[in-house]
Amino acid sequence: MTQKNNLRFGVIGAGRIGKIHAENLATRVPRVEVAGIADVDLKAAQDLAAHLHVLVTVEDYHAILSNPAIDAVAICSSTDTHAKIIIEAAQAGKQIFCEKPIALDLETIDTALEAVEKAGVKLQIGFNRRFDPNFRKVHTMVAEGKIGTPHIVRITSRDPAPPPVSYINVSGGLFLDMTIHDFDMARYLSGSEVEEVYTTAGVLVDPAIGVAGDVDTAIITLRFANGAIGTIDNSRKAIYGYDQRVEVFGSDGMVQAHNNTTDNDVYFNVDGVHSAKPLYFFLERYMESFIAEMKEFAQSIRENTSPSVTGIDGRAPVAIGMAAKKSYMEHRPVKLSEITVPVLELK
């Protein structure tokens, strides 16, 4: 920490999400500052640094890790770099916030989590939707028994437009890149682990996504350990905007969270009844949650408490995503127990 008692963050990766986290850390999280930005694309780091008045920009993130003045890192680089940087950051004694997913296979994730445990540093994974006030309220109401015993969990999650194929190529594909948030929501909202999945999916949006070996549209059914069942439906392209809705139905009622819109005015005329579209994409829809997750991470460092989204929370949705992919490939329900690496027992 500096003399001002600020927590000093290094941001690694200055792309779409790196910009959001860097700006939030620099301007919206109290007693935190961004002390350096790293990106292999140095210009991306420099542009972001200029915007936020950050003095240190580097091409090689190791210069962030070896800087003793930096307390914590936000790993916002592409997915294929996360585990390696987590391991090196842990060995350097940095507190770690890392974007999802930790990695695309469980062995690599476990190696990263072991390094974190050994170093005794904190690791929070970027499942920001848990910090959305509407979804958090659904979670709390279910946990408090307000809807009785959960029977059905429904999650609709559709992007307004697909990312470039260059992104898809290193993303892990729909299930590990996009649905991973919904798998996390499924665990968070139901309060239970997923035991079995069945996936139907296809390429209905863009043939180039199929050429890249991925799908862009999917329905996944879930069976939970507590007996509840669920569905997730995904599309990479909803022409009306970012469609993000959840519902939990139970023995004593139901709780839903609808889309957030720019306003709640409803206009009636001869053509019909009109209201605003959903907020366009994750930047607009989840801004509050991105700020809240960083505030909580900073708080957990200051107060030396465990972050609420742990490494195990980062691992579980990857295992579900692997099962969902296997189910799609093999046209059959897949039990999570078939995804073989034993679950780590971390403190």
Ligand X SMILES: NC(=O)c1ccc[n+]([C@@H]2O[C@H](COP(=O)([O-])OP(=O)(O)OC[C@H]3O[C@@H](n4cnc5c(N)ncnc54)[C@H](O)[C@@H]3O)[C@@H](O)[C@H]2O)c1
In the complex with ligand X, the residue whose CB is nearer, 130 or 139, is: 130
Computed from CA positions of residues 277, 282, 283, 286, in that sequence, does the dihedral angle turn out positive or negative? Answer: positive
Give the shortest CB-31-to-ligand X separation in angstroms.
23
Q: Is 234 among the residues that bind ligand X (CB under 6 A)?
A: no
Q: Which stretch binds ligand X (CB under 6 A): 62-70, 76-84, 195-203, 216-224?
A: 76-84
User: Rounded to whole angstroms, how far apart are CA atoms 57 and 229?
Assistant: 48
Q: In what order do the strands lie in the sheet with 229-235?
A: 253-257, 243-250, 150-158, 229-235, 217-224, 194-202, 334-335
Among 24, 77, 192, 217, binds ligand X (CB under 6 A): 77
Q: Which stretch binds ligand X (CB under 6 A): 40-48, 267-275, 313-321, 338-346?
A: 40-48
In the complex with ligand X, the residue whose CB is nearer, 18 or 230, is: 18
Residue 173: closest CA among 16, 12, 330, 329: 329
Among 24, 57, 81, 108, binds ligand X (CB under 6 A): 81
In the complex with ligand X, the residue whose CB is nearer, 189 or 318, is: 318
Q: Which stretch binds ligand X (CB under 6 A): 15-23, 145-153, 258-266, 271-279?
A: 15-23
Q: Is 300 among the residues that bind ligand X (CB under 6 A)?
A: no
Among 13, 36, 230, 278, binds ligand X (CB under 6 A): 13
Q: Which stretch binds ligand X (CB under 6 A): 14-22, 28-36, 147-155, 199-207?
A: 14-22
Q: Is 214 among the residues that bind ligand X (CB under 6 A)?
A: no
**Continuous H helices in the chain:** 16-27, 42-52, 62-65, 82-91, 106-119, 133-143, 165-169, 174-177, 179-190, 207-211, 282-285, 287-303, 311-330
Closest residue to bound ligand X by CB: 15
Cβ distance 203 to 215 under 8 Å? yes
Q: Is 76 among the residues that bind ligand X (CB under 6 A)?
A: yes
Which residues ranging from 279 to 298 are in contact with ligand X (CB under 6 A)? 282
Among 11, 36, 39, 132, binds ligand X (CB under 6 A): 39
What binding mask, one character per residue, do residues 102-141 give for ligand X by CB under 6 A, x or -?
Answer: ------------------------x-x-------------
Contacts of 211 (CB under 8 A, 6+ apart): 165
User: Rounded to whole angstroms, how far apart are CA atoms 106 and 118?
Assistant: 18
DSSP state of 278: B
Q: Which stretch binds ligand X (CB under 6 A): 38-46, 140-148, 197-205, 243-251?
A: 38-46
In the complex with ligand X, the residue whose CB is nearer, 213 or 342, is: 213
With tokens 């200055």, the residue in question is 14
The tokens describing 85, both together, are: 């940087």
Beta bridge partners of 302: none
Which residues ranging from 147 to 176 are in contact with ligand X (CB under 6 A)? 167
- Burial string for 49-73 (b: 16+ CB within 10 Å, else e) reads beebebebbbeebeebbebeebbbb
In the complex with ligand X, the residue whose CB is nearer, 41 or 330, is: 41
Among 11, 25, 33, 61, binds ligand X (CB under 6 A): 61
Among 11, 35, 44, 74, binds ligand X (CB under 6 A): 44
Among 6, 46, 67, 78, binds ligand X (CB under 6 A): 78
Q: 327: helix, coil or strand?
A: helix
Cβ distance 276 to 263 under 8 Å? yes
Kindly list the distances between the CA atom of residue 102 and the CA atoms of 84, 160, 208, 320, 333, in Å, as whole numbers in the listed order.
Answer: 9, 25, 26, 14, 25
Helix or strand run (H / E) with residue 192: none
| Interface size with ligand X, residues (CB under 6 A) | 25
User: Which residues of this protein are in contact with ligand X, per CB under 6 A?
Assistant: 12-18, 38-41, 44, 61, 76-79, 81, 99-100, 126, 128, 167, 177, 282
